[in-house]
Structure 1
Amino acid sequence: MNRPDKTYANDPPPGMVEKRGASLWFSHVIMIFGVLIVFFPIWLAFVASTVTQPEIVQPPMPLWPGDQFYNNYREALVSGVNVPVATMLLNSLIMAMGIAIGKIVISLLSAFAIVYFKFPGKMIFFWLIFLTLMLPVEVRIVPTYEVIAGFGMLNSYGGLILPLIASATATFLFRQFFMTVPDELAEAARVDGASPMRFFWDILFPMSRTNIAALFVILFIYGWNQYLWPLLITTDPEMNTIVMGIRQMFPSGDDVANWPVIMATSILAMVPPIIVVISMQKLFIRGLVDSEK
């Protein structure tokens, strides 16, 4: 017995599946093409880091890795130019971690105080913090340098990190998030006898983990890519960051650049940010798009 055809309200119209499949394939092709365009220079940098100097300077440049991977990366990590790349990577890692963690801690506590405490001039302090967004680092870099020099913090991790750990943007974002938290939670914690810091640590902090992860990725990359401030605050080559080191590897005058080592250093400089983004990818995306945060 043949069953009569049935049409359901949620069924797509005839031909919709085929059209959707075609548009899906087209969007994937465009996305793959864009990824290849972005990835191709990185691939060339990696290839250049595995070949010899003559193979780079004599066209055409090879498109496949050579046999000098170990030698070039060993020379970069151990020798470098003024200082080994391993030392510069460590300096950049300490600076980026210090800036990211410092900004998040200060912003969390500042937003917590602004939202949950009453004190005279609370909104004035908030808007003064917010107004610092109008002043880029370049505008206040000279007085900041004078303060750091006065405290004797030149050529130190403290001098690299402390002037950059205040963040008006992160404070504003955490404030907006804390204002969406129901007042009943704070009232319930108060009734249970929880102190303000207990309420912050047991309730607000876990609820903010996706926001913290998203900001940590952004702030880590921000700290990792700093160039002007480390260039100004450090004179000891042992305190150079990896971004400074890459710039110093380029010769001046008629000197010849050691391109395999420079490209190996560039690839090594990309590894820590890539690890941070990949390891925190899920929390980073949730922190940006989660509608319930």
Structure 2
Amino acid sequence: MLSRVAPAAVVAAAAFMTTPQAEAAPATPVIRYAGLGSCPQADGGRHPCGPLKLWLSDGRVVALSGARRTVADDEYTVAAVIAVSQDGAQAAYFAGKDGVLTIWEAATGRAREVPSVTWPDDLRMNALTLSPGGRFLSMRGVNASEWEIDRVVDTTTGKVFTLPRGYQTWDFSPDGKRMMAGDNRTAVLYSTGTWSVRLRRSVYMRGDLGPDGVTVAAPKWTKTGNSVKNVVLTRNLATAKKGSIPIRLHAGETALTARWDKAGHLDVLTRSDRQVGGDLRRTHTWYRVNRATHQLRRLDSFVIPSSVGGYVLAD
């Protein structure tokens, strides 16, 4: 899914603490990010080229030959043509001449087509959001009347649920059983599949939806003088109970988003940039937050080189 929260700020390196961890990648490969390559131009710039690709935690790069790359002629919006599930286990894209929805599984390397769902020609697409487990896909775009439309497809049945006009899909719970959506005034929690409303709130916090289906988490920073404080905020949408977990980051590191897993673990994704020989290196790191000690344990870290054009993260 796409990052939905404001980046957290940077703190001094001396304040950073993590617990020791193994350097090995997870035994079961996951998708770190998806995107397009870029090729140099005569004027010194770069342009998108090649097929859509998936970069995996085991070092493999999988080219999705035949996958749709553009939302219109020469209009590249990667987030509108491919989505990676929050846990990195699946990717969704549209393949072939007919643009059939396809779900790719990282664990097996196999692709599953959903023949009843094809590229929505009636929308100017701008975002896809894939649920953990890969069952539900939100397709958001603008119709001919300039209204934003968000349709959620059940990839096992092909059935489509259209959100109320003006609503956007924000997030799914780790088990895919709840979906959070809304507009700038209201947040709504749906039971996926039946699409019954479980909760509606006019006062809410946007963030990653937890395994209880009501608690969200998001990073935030505050600055007082020269002091910067990074925290992960939590809020129970049912009870309005709030929480705050201080976290300490490396100098130059920015928190992008938080995520929960099914077991209730809370992770934070960060990014830091540096120039190496004229090449911009974007390092992304996943940390697990110990909510009791506030320490961070590194789960995975990877560099996205500048040769990668537009990309979407598993977040």
TM-score category (smaller protein): under 0.3
Compare the two structures and name the one with the higher helix fraction. 1
Larger radius of gyration: 1
Please give the TM-score of this superposition, normalised by the length of structure 1.
0.25
Compare the two structures and name the one with the higher strand fraction. 2
